[in-house]
Amino acid sequence: MTAYKRIADLGDLSGKTALVRADLNVPIQDGRVADDTRIKAAVATVKALRQKGAQVALLSHFGRPKGAVVPDMSLEPLVPALEAAFGEPVGFAADCIGPVAAAALKGDAGIVLLQNLRFHEGEEANDPAFAGALAALGDLYVNDAFSAAHRAHASTVGLAHLLPHYAGETMAMELDALEKALGNPTRPVAAIVGGAKVSSKLDVLTHLVEKVDHLIIGGGMANSFLFAQGHAIGTSLAERDLADTARAILERAKAAGCTIHLPIDAMAAKAFAENAPHRIAAITDIADDEMILDAGPATVEALKQVLQQAKTLVWNGPMGAFELKPFDQATMALAHEAGRLTKASHLLSVAGGGDTVSAINLAGVGDQLTHISTAGGAFLEWMEGKTLPGVAALEG
């Protein structure tokens, strides 16, 4: 990974305005912030810049207004939550460019939230004129929104070409963790890739077999591989038409020296429902009217041993239908094992993706893993080996 400048590289910023691209696309219920996780993620960057004397102009998208002003997608309701998080008053500008934004930044507020970037078509189009209008408001640019780094927009790419640019605290922490996980990892490296569909993670699987020593495949995706190997999987969720693709990935892994781990037993049920009657069955013993809803205990024990041998773990996707008890057991067990090994300094663990983060938090080990990425699409594209435009723009 090419070097990028950080906030620590900056000196005194008195009299300067820092344009900070954050991801404040948070859930709002009844006019109030329902989950402030992403707001809390911006605190370290904002406070570091304020301590250096800078005024902070916060930039963010919210929803998909598609270049039109949609009152329900205004960022203004975030102000109270931002003030609570930052511990100081936060001003609000009813536009993100032009005289309205400039006037707000000339006021007394040390932190000013600018209106939804996507109220202007130029944001998603990475329009040079729009990027220029944003750049005119500040003296330097800080990107702290890894979760938007896979998008080549004006606020993630265009701005970086117009102003001195830096990685925010959360962005830097994310990039450091990802570099240690796949860029320059300590081996052996294990990856857990779960979820429903092979088709949604084809690029991830194809990339990872060249990068990791052990690839653990779970969820509906594992069923597709088991079917491709000739196993009867009953009524299980699977992409049976991708059997050739699954076999090609298995061959590619073999050639690359990557060991693929699939379930050897399963929790099989006849209905996809909470507490559905189920049994533990060998993978060779799934009845025609049964579906695989989770990996079984023998699989879990074997996979724990894989994690115990690993030095690095990358995780995206659950092992089974974790939202339905008791079919969360394999996911929970591996989450606890990853947490235990990380806490004991035996494992560097990086996890990301909505379902994965939910499962890890349900297991109560969110604070035990090395790094949990709240990014969805950006984390997935990183696992696919793709260059993220927002990260590339910070380099050099």
Provide the residue ranges of all domains of the chain, joining segments of one domain with +: 7-171, 185-383
Q: For the domain covering 7-171, report its CATH number.
A: 3.40.50.1260
Is 117 in contact with 151 (CB distance < 8 Å)? Answer: no
Q: At what angle do helices 37-51 and 169-178 cross, to 10 degrees?
A: 110
Between strands 278-282 and 265-269, the pairing is antiparallel
Q: Across all residues in the chain, what is the average pLDDT?
A: 96
Binding-site residues for substrate, please? Answer: 23-25, 38, 61-64, 118, 151
Per residue in 40-77, pLDDT (tens digit) is: 999 999 999 999 999 999 999 999 999 999 999 999 99
Contacting residues for 195 by C-beta, under 8 A, at least 6 apart: 201, 218, 219, 220, 221, 316, 317, 318, 355
- Token code pair at residue 10: 């900056």
**Cis preceding linkage at 326, omega within 30:** yes
For residue 375, the model assigns a pLDDT of 85
Which positions are catalytic?
Answer: 38, 197, 354, 377
Instruction: Answer whether residue 396 shows pLDDT above 90.
Output: no
Give the burial string for 32-44 (b: 16+ CB within 10 Å, else e).
ebeebebbebbbb
Is 234 in contact with 289 (CB distance < 8 Å)? Answer: yes
Per residue in 228-281, pLDDT (tens digit) is: 999 999 999 999 999 999 999 999 999 999 999 999 999 999 999 999 999 999
Q: Is residue 311 exposed (0-12), middle (13-18) or buried (19+ Cβ within 10 Å)?
A: middle
- At 70 the three-state DSSP class reads coil
Binding-site residues for (2R)-3-phosphoglycerate, please? Answer: 38, 118, 151
Rg of the chain in Å (alpha carbons): 23
The residue among 48, 57, 61, 44 whose CA lies nearest residue 18 is 57
DSSP 380: H
The terminus-to-terminus CA distance of the chain in angstroms comes to 10
For residue 355, the model assigns a pLDDT of 86
Instruction: Answer whether residue 220 shows pLDDT above 90.
Output: yes
Confidence of residue 2 (pLDDT cuts 50, 70, 90): low
What CA–CA distance (Å, rounded) separates 128 from 117?
A: 14
What CA–CA distance (Å, rounded) separates 351 from 379?
A: 9
pTM summary value:
0.91
What CA–CA distance (Å, rounded) separates 282 from 164?
A: 59
Between residues 199 and 162, the one the model is more confident about: 162
Per residue in 296-320, pLDDT (tens digit) is: 999 999 999 999 999 999 999 999 9
Q: Is residue 94 exposed (0-12), middle (13-18) or buried (19+ Cβ within 10 Å)?
A: middle
What CA–CA distance (Å, rounded) separates 311 from 344?
A: 12
- Token code pair at residue 88: 């100081």
Is 172 in contact with 149 (CB distance < 8 Å)? Answer: no
- Asked if domains 7-171 and 185-383 share a fold, the reply is yes
Q: What is the mean pLDDT of residues 198-219?
A: 94
Contacting residues for 305 by C-beta, under 8 A, at least 6 apart: none
Residue 216 bridge partners (DSSP): 192, 261
For residue 315, the model assigns a pLDDT of 96
Q: What is the mean pLDDT of residues 167-177?
A: 95
Binding-site residues, please? Answer: 23-25, 38, 61-64, 118, 151, 201, 323, 353-356
**Cis preceding linkage at 185, omega within 30:** no
Per residue in 325-367, pLDDT (tens digit) is: 999 999 999 999 999 999 999 999 999 987 888 899 899 999 9
Topology given in CATH for the domain delimited by 185-383: Rossmann fold (3.40.50)
Instruction: Answer whether residue 1 shows pLDDT above 70.
Output: no
- Token code pair at residue 85: 């998080």
What CA–CA distance (Å, rounded) separates 255 from 316?
A: 23
Binding-site residues for ATP, please? Answer: 201, 323, 353-356
